[in-house]
């Protein structure tokens, strides 16, 4: 069920942002739809972009977004209710001023893991609201992201509709499935990324880190970067679970707080990159597990899963499962491996959430580290909502890699537009 809230917050729009968002002062503009807690916007912010408007229907996510991006005009309401003409005029953007429109509709209706995947699912129609913004703003470029399962939905019908709409509006569109670990994210996570431009197709960012993962979906062998052993020497090593969270304060179940201080020095380049210079971080509380899950956890070794648990301790449904099914359930992370896809629930029944060397499940902060959110990024709302916000996000470093690629495209476009009049004058 989608969470719907009334309009939460309005921040006065800056005067004429479309006229000042140019490469001369180093700033570029974005609008973020289906923004969630702000993973994409944080990555774009790190690449030198400014988000002027953000929308999501989840109230707690907008509270988090607004807290971490206080100058952005944020709204918590259904996108169907938002008039893009009103937004553009309030921001004082002329058509064509916006540098990048970013976002993607909720992915549950597209996921290959969803129990039902009908073309009539209203979540699968929300891309039309994104298209309304493209049509009204006519941005120079856009980023449309989703899960790879979108490619196979309705035997590709929905994807073809999306591509057709973008081309109808005059955009050249390139698409690729990116693996977050290729960009320094310590997590096995795949995202379908569409990049659009009015000028020419935009190349997707090349991998910077060597990592491999199972691409068990349509396009897995044709739309992903295929790395071989030869790439291992040229790329940086993957960021592991131990690299990502090994410096965070160790906790027993029931320990921790919403604000905690560091207890040791950063132990990896990644940890140093994530650290908050103020010496504190947030959302680091070790949740208590039920007695049944504590008993099950004791049998699971690093890299193991429910298959390590004695049959009589398993839930009734799992007792009937085949050993080849549900490979991540009741899993324990490995310090020398990648985290599995961060989920919206920190529930051992659904994924790998047990710590490699501590007898508890992931904190919100540890999950956020796997999503490459900096430690200064604070998640608001109840803890259940915090896990959901983190799990729904696009990894920050993946977003930053895409943002840098779009920036290079916009810089080249700007240079070409300057050189052409000079050549004509000459």
8 A C-beta contact, residue 224 and residue 182 = no
How many CB atoms lie under 10 A from the CB of residue 140? 22
Would you give the DSSP letter of residue 34?
S
Q: Which residues are catalytic?
A: 107
Q: What angle do CA 61, 62, 64 make, to 5 degrees?
A: 65
Q: 389 — phi, psi (to 5°)?
A: -60, -45
DSSP code of residue 99: S
Do the strands 256-261 and 280-285 form a parallel or antiparallel pair, or are they unpaired? antiparallel
Q: In the Cβ-directed half-sphere of 219, how many Cα atoms lie within 13 Å?
A: 23
Measured CA distances, 79 to 7, 177, 229, 339, 365 (Å):
11, 26, 45, 32, 29
CA diameter of the chain = 84
Q: Please give the Cα distance from 195 to 256 (Å, whole number).
A: 41
69 and 4 Cβ atoms separated by less than 8 Å: no
Is the CB of residue 191 less than 8 Å from the CB of residue 175? no
Q: Name the H helices within 138-268.
A: 157-168, 229-234, 241-245
Burial profile 228-244: b = 16 or more Cβ within 10 angstroms, e = fewer: eeebeeebeebbbbbbb
Show the tokens assigned to 201.
């197709």
CB atoms within 10 A of CB 363: 26
Read off the tokens for 414: 């700007």
């Amino acid at each position: 069920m989608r969470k719907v809230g009334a309009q939460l917050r309005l921040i006065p729009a800056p005067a004429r942002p479309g006229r000042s968002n140019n490469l001369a002062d180093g700033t570029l503009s974005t609008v973020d739809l289906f923004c969630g807690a702000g993973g994409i916007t944080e990555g774009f912010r790190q690449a030198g972009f400014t988000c002027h408007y953000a929308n999501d229907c989840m109230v707690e996510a907008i509270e988090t977004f607004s807290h971490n991006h206080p100058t952005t005009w944020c709204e918590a309401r259904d996108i169907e209710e938002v008039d893009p003409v009103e937004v553009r005029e309030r921001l004082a953007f002329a058509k064509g001023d916006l540098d990048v429109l970013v976002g993607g509709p909720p992915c549950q209706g597209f996921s290959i893991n969803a129990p039902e995947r009908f073309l009539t699912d209203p979540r699968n129609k929300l891309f039309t609201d994104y298209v309304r913004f493209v049509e009204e703003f006519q941005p120079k470029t856009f980023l449309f992201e989703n899960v790879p399962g979108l490619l196979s939905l309705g035997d590709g019908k929905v994807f073809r509709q999306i591509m057709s709409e973008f081309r109808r509006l005059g955009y050249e569109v390139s698409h690729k499935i990116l693996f977050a670990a290729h960009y320094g994210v310590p997590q096995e996570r795949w995202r379908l990324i569409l990049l659009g431009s009015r000028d020419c197709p935009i190349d997707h960012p090349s991998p910077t880190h060597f990592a491999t993962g199972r691409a068990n979906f349509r396009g897995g062998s044709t739309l992903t970067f295929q790395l071989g052993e030869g790439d291992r020497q040229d790329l940086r090593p993957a960021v592991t679970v131990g690299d990502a969270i090994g410096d965070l304060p160790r906790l027993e179940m029931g320990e921790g707080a919403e604000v905690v201080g560091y207890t040791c020095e950063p132990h990896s380049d990644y940890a140093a990159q994530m650290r908050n210079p103020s010496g504190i971080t947030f959302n680091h509380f070790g949740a208590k597990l039920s007695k049944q899950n504590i008993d099950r956890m004791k049998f699971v070794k690093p890299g193991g899963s429910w298959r390590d648990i004695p049959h009589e301790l398993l839930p009734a449904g799992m007792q009937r499962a085949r050993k080849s099914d549900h490979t991540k359930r009741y899993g324990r992370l490995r310090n020398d491996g990648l985290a599995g896809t961060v989920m919206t629930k920190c529930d051992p029944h659904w994924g790998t959430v047990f710590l490699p060397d501590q007898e508890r499940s992931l904190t919100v902060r540890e999950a956020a580290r796997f999503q490459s959110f900096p430690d200064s990024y604070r998640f608001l709302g109840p803890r259940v909502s915090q896990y959901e916000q983190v799990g729904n996000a696009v990894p920050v470093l993946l977003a930053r890699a895409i943002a840098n690629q779009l920036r290079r495209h916009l810089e080249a476009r700007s240079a070409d537009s300057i050189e052409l009049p000079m050549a004509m004058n000459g």
